[in-house]
Chains A and B, each alone.
Chain A
Amino acid sequence: MYSGEVNHENITKIFEGAGDFIQRPLRCNGVRLYAYAIDGLTSGGDTSEYVLRPITDNLTGQTARTLYDEALLGNVYNSVADPCKDLDTVARKLVNGFCVILFPGAGAIAFEVKTGEKRSISAPEVENTVKGPKDAFVETVRSNTSLIRRHLRTPELRLWETQVGRRSLTNVTVAYIEGLTDKTLVQRMRRRLEEIDVDGFLAPSAVEEYVTGSRKTAFPLIQYTERADKFCAGLLEGRVGLLVDGLPLGYLAPADLGYLMESPEDWSRDYLSASFLRILRYGALILGLILPGLYIALAVFHQEMIPLPLLRSIIESKKDVPFSTAAEVVSLLLAFELLQESGIHLPQAVGQSVSTIGGIVVGTAAVDAGLVSPAALIAVSIAGVCGFVLPNRDLAEALRLWRLGFALIAAVAGLFGLTAGLIVLVGHLAGLQCLEVPYLAPFHMGQASVLRDRMVTDKFRDSLLHPEDGRKQL
Chain B
Amino acid sequence: MKKWIRLGALLLLLLPQRGTEVGELLPVEVLLVEKEAGQYAITTDTGNSARGDSLKAAMDTLRNTAPGVIFLDTADYVLLTEETLSCMDALQGFVRPGTKVYTVEGEADPEKLGAFLRAHGPDTPLYRIIKEAKMVPKLRLEGDWHFEGR
The verdict on A396 contacting chain B, using a C-beta distance below 8 Å, is no
Q: For A315, list chain B residues within 8 Å (CB).
A: 22-23, 25, 27
User: Which among A303, A409, A417 is the interface contact of B25 at CB below 8 angstroms?
Assistant: A303
Question: Given the complex of chains A and B, what is the CA–CA distance between A304 and B99 in angstroms?
Answer: 13
Q: For B73, list chain A residues within 8 Å (CB).
A: 303-304
* Number of interface residues, chain B, beta carbon within 8 A: 18
Q: Mark B65-100, 1 if CB is under 8 A from A, else 0.
A: 000000101101000000000000000000010000
The verdict on A160 contacting chain B, using a C-beta distance below 8 Å, is no
Q: For A304, list chain B residues within 8 Å (CB).
A: 71, 73-74, 96
The verdict on B37 contacting chain A, using a C-beta distance below 8 Å, is no
The verdict on B19 contacting chain A, using a C-beta distance below 8 Å, is yes
- Within 3-56 of B, Cβ neighbours of A (below 8 Å) are at 8, 12-13, 15, 17, 19-23, 25, 27, 29
A314 and B22 form a contact (CB under 8 A): yes
Which of B19, B29, B74 has its CB near the most chain A CB atoms (within 10 A)? B19
Q: For A318, list chain B residues within 8 Å (CB).
A: 21-23
Question: Given the complex of chains A and B, what is the CA–CA distance between A217 and B23 in angstroms?
Answer: 37
If the complex has contacts A303-B73, A308-B29, A308-B74, are A416 and B23 also in contact, measured as CB distance less than 8 A?
A: no
B27 and A308 form a contact (CB under 8 A): yes
A303 and B12 form a contact (CB under 8 A): no
Question: Given the complex of chains A and B, what is the CA–CA distance between A417 and B73 in angstroms?
Answer: 22
B23 and A412 form a contact (CB under 8 A): no
CB distance from A278 to the nearest CB of B (A): 34
The verdict on A413 contacting chain B, using a C-beta distance below 8 Å, is yes
B25 and A311 form a contact (CB under 8 A): yes
A311 and B22 form a contact (CB under 8 A): yes
A299 and B76 form a contact (CB under 8 A): no
If the complex has contacts A301-B17, A303-B20, A303-B22, are A413 and B27 also in contact, measured as CB distance less than 8 A?
A: no
CB distance from B125 to the nearest CB of A (A): 16
Stretch from A7-15, A232-240, A319-327 contacting the other chain = A319-327
A414 and B17 form a contact (CB under 8 A): yes
CB distance from B134 to the nearest CB of A (A): 24
Q: For A300, list chain B residues within 8 Å (CB).
A: 19-22
Q: For A22, list chain B residues within 8 Å (CB).
A: none
The verdict on A312 contacting chain B, using a C-beta distance below 8 Å, is yes
> Could you write out 15 A-B pairs with CB less than 8 Å apart?
A299-B21, A301-B17, A301-B20, A303-B25, A308-B76, A311-B27, A312-B27, A315-B22, A315-B25, A324-B21, A412-B13, A413-B15, A416-B17, A417-B12, A420-B8
10 residue pairs, one from A and one from B, having the closest CB atoms: A318-B23, A304-B73, A300-B19, A299-B22, A301-B19, A413-B12, A308-B74, A412-B12, A413-B15, A311-B27
Beyond A308-B74, A315-B22, 10 additional pairs, beta carbon < 8 A: A299-B21, A303-B74, A304-B74, A311-B25, A311-B74, A315-B25, A318-B23, A324-B21, A414-B19, A420-B8
Q: Which residues of B contact A (CB under 8 A)?
A: 8, 12-13, 15, 17, 19-23, 25, 27, 29, 71, 73-74, 76, 96
